[in-house]
Amino acid sequence: MNYHDFFINNIRKDSTVLDIGCGIGAVAFDISKKASKVVAVDLDKNNLKIAREKFSANNIEYIYADATKYNFKDKFDYIIISNVLEHIKNKISFLKKIKLLAPEILIRVPMINRDWLTLYKKEKGLPYFLDNTHFIEYDEETFKKEMKRVDLQIKSYSVQFGEIWAVVKK
């Protein structure tokens, strides 16, 4: 199973979905085949240009915005955040904000141990982030504590391909 399947398998048919950090729109497009409406947000104009050209559908709305600051008008059945949380500086306030928009959030984050070199660098006190735009590298304990801190319950959880795949709910 790939991560697209994880998202598709965890949403109901004809649901509404907010995809935060949609990138080029591949996940939003796949989700749109099952959902009634997908709102896909990204802060990279080039990503959205590709999304609109290659991954458009009548039930997808692409929005150029910083989701940490954007005021969403609608509520959704689900929110997808795929490889996004690690890029957000104020994750706690972000999670508190978005959990008001949907009863369930589907999360995918990379784990620090997906690369042995990252762990080695951390152990030696060297810069160790998997990506220079990350503010955190998750392990299972850190992820679970963060969800608890914002009062999100873990409904399902697995580690796949060096990533945490979780469904959390209010």
The residues spanned by each domain of the chain are 3-169
For residue 140, which phi and psi values (nearest 5 degrees)? -60, -45
Residue 110: predicted pLDDT: 82
Residue 70: predicted pLDDT: 96
Cβ neighbours for 4, distance < 8 A, ≥ 6 positions apart: 26, 27, 30
Residue 139: predicted pLDDT: 79
Residue 162: predicted pLDDT: 81
Residue 160: predicted pLDDT: 84
Amino acid identity, position 154? I
CATH superfamily, with its number, for domain 3-169: Vaccinia Virus protein VP39 (3.40.50.150)
What's the rounded Cα separation, in Å, for the pair 147 and 154? Answer: 8
Residue 28: predicted pLDDT: 99
Residue 140: predicted pLDDT: 87
pTM to 2 decimal places: 0.88
Amino acid identity, position 139? D
Gap between the terminal Cα atoms of the chain: 26
Mean pLDDT per 10-residue section of the chain, whose length is 170 residues: 93 98 98 98 97 98 97 97 89 95 95 55 55 64 94 94 91
CA 113 to mean position of chain CA atoms? 19
Helix (H/G/I), strand (E/B), else coil: 143:
helix
